[in-house]
Chain A
Amino acid sequence: MPTMHQDRTITAPMVYPDSAPFWEAAKESRLLIKRCRDCSQFHWYPRTICPHCGSDATEWVAASGRATIYSVSVTRRAGPQAYAIAYVTLEEGVTMMTNIIDCDLDTLRIGDAVTVAFRDSDGGPPVPMFRPV
């Protein structure tokens, strides 16, 4: 029997000053990530100081939203609905935690191509989830 994705109540993210632009962009369904102007490396999760080189010259850039599943687990017994927690690797190279949605969760495999799809949180900004391409 398939495990079709069902919407669930999504805990609102805490919006901190250093990542407020991320959540503003999320309201327009745009996925931002941080890049360092000094070492040119992307990082995740976004912060003001680059974790690769220590520079404070970090900037927001728009990600393509295309990604592949690095790992995925359908969590079946922690709440009223099953949900697929995953790490996805963005085209830009960083790997982020997310949920995979809008599909039969039982069919998900590592390496599958996915694309960003924002979902409203409970009283907070939309959060970046992904759906199979």
Chain B
Amino acid sequence: MTIRGKACIVGAYEHPTRKAPDKTVAQLHAESARGALADAGLSLKDVDGYFCASDAPGLGALSMVDYLGLNLRHVDTTETGGSSYIVHVSHAAQAIAAGKCNIALITLAGRTRSEAQGGTVPRNWGPNIPDSPFEAPFGTVTVNSYALVAARHMHEFGTTSEQLAWIKVAASTHAQYNKNAMLRDVYTVEDVVNSPMISDPLHRLDCCVVTDGGGALIVTRPEIARELKRPLVTVRGAGEAIKGQDGGRIDLSYTAAARSGPIAFEEAGVKPGDIDYASIYDSFTITVLMQLEDLGFCEKGKGGRFVADGNLIAGQGKLPFNTDGGGLCNNHPANRGGMTKVIEAVRQLRGEAHPAVQVKDCRLAVAQGIGGLMGARHGSGTLILERS
């Protein structure tokens, strides 16, 4: 069974807040759900499938379904870190194709900024984690896991800090047009490489923002989507994969996107060269570079050259990416960037991105995410969407 053409995204909403000390996480999920349903022209009573990951408070789906007052036929709490919501779109399409639900709601929200949960804070995932005795004593935080990948890439392929900086430059060039973006300054390569070193070779400006916020998506079958008033954004292909340490045969030169990408492109029947717009999860600059290589936008090891000189800037480069400013400048709610990647891809395919960054005649987009820790164990989701 394929999901190609079996489901459409009819609602997409990014919560405008970037700091919400006076709101609860459940409330941010609910406000995001309302926004996506309003975008689709639907209401909570229409929802019969619900998808969330571990950012949902309490008992996850149990707490949120009760809070929202949903009456469901289908539930899915797949957890692949920040890529979860990209995978959820694929799973929603599968459930719709199998007749398990008609209108799927996916939500994400968090208060990572109010709760000071940034990338230099040790993650506390509690007891019973099999790997923790052999990693936690060494000061593992989010940023140094990605830094180990960046250091290795520089060693193997000669990638430079200046090349990585171009990824932030492109994101910031886009973010200046986004009134909700947390960072709206346009950065130069010099700004990035002169910002404080956090974990070699990643500088402060190689890192994403830490924000409160949320987002939601509505996925439904094409027959229902055609009755709604929004432009049709159809799921064309999807892939998912998890990569760990392979029992100690660690190879940081590639990510799980090297598996999820080809699966998605094969299902979609398209090639990277056909893509008009790319949402690429940008927890750090290196995250983008690795995924671009692994999806096949350039040869392995050539990512540094590919991203340099503005090649990711809309209207200027060959592959416009993260035209909302991405996680690097715009928004990174719950420290999980998969949701906002799908939302901006939907905006682009609808022609509803900011005019300054809207890709002309945008017909085919990819939303790609890596969640977890890229240098240790992570999940990848690849989603190919088309305007139809």
CA distance A94 to B287 in the complex (A): 25
CA distance A41 to B148 in the complex (A): 25
**Closest residue to B131 on the A side, CB-wise?**
A45
Q: Are B250 and A95 in contact (CB under 8 A)?
A: yes
CA distance A52 to B247 in the complex (A): 7
Question: Taking A76-B200, A85-B144, A85-B148 as contacts, is the C-beta distance between A110 and B247 under 8 angstroms?
Answer: no
Q: Are A70 and B139 in contact (CB under 8 A)?
A: no
Q: Is A72 part of the binding interface, using a Cβ–Cβ cutoff of 8 Å?
A: yes
Q: Are A97 and B138 in contact (CB under 8 A)?
A: yes
Which residues of chain B are near A111, meaning CB under 8 Å? Answer: 155
Per DSSP, chain A at the interface is loop
Contact of A70 among B144, B152, B202 (CB under 8 A): B152
Within 8 A of B (CB), among A44-65: 44-47, 50-52
Q: Are B199 and A74 in contact (CB under 8 A)?
A: yes
Interface centre among A16, A47, A87, by most chain B C-beta atoms within 10 angstroms, is: A87
Q: Are B148 and A44 in contact (CB under 8 A)?
A: no
Q: Is B141 part of the binding interface, using a Cβ–Cβ cutoff of 8 Å?
A: yes
Q: Are B133 and A41 in contact (CB under 8 A)?
A: no
| Number of A residues with CB within 8 Å of any CB on chain B | 46
Q: Are B247 and A94 in contact (CB under 8 A)?
A: yes
- Binary per-residue interface labels of chain B (211-240) against chain A in the complex, 1 for a CB within 8 Å, 0 otherwise: 000000000000000000000000000000
**Closest residue to B146 on the A side, CB-wise?**
A73
- Binary per-residue interface labels of chain B (124-154) against chain A in the complex, 1 for a CB within 8 Å, 0 otherwise: 0001111111111111110110011111100
CA distance A60 to B252 in the complex (A): 27
Shortest Cβ distance from residue B376 to the other chain A in the assembled complex, whole angstroms = 8
Q: Are A10 and B137 in contact (CB under 8 A)?
A: yes
Contact of A75 among B134, B144, B248 (CB under 8 A): B144
Q: Which 9 A-B pairs have the closest CB atoms?
A: A44-B248, A94-B248, A13-B133, A78-B120, A51-B247, A73-B147, A43-B247, A45-B134, A95-B250
A-B contacts, 14 of them at CB < 8 A, read: A11-B137, A44-B134, A45-B130, A71-B151, A73-B200, A77-B196, A77-B199, A83-B139, A85-B138, A85-B144, A87-B252, A87-B375, A96-B248, A97-B134
Add 10 more A-B contacts to A73-B199, A99-B139 (CB < 8 A): A11-B137, A46-B134, A75-B199, A78-B121, A85-B140, A94-B249, A97-B134, A97-B135, A97-B138, A111-B155
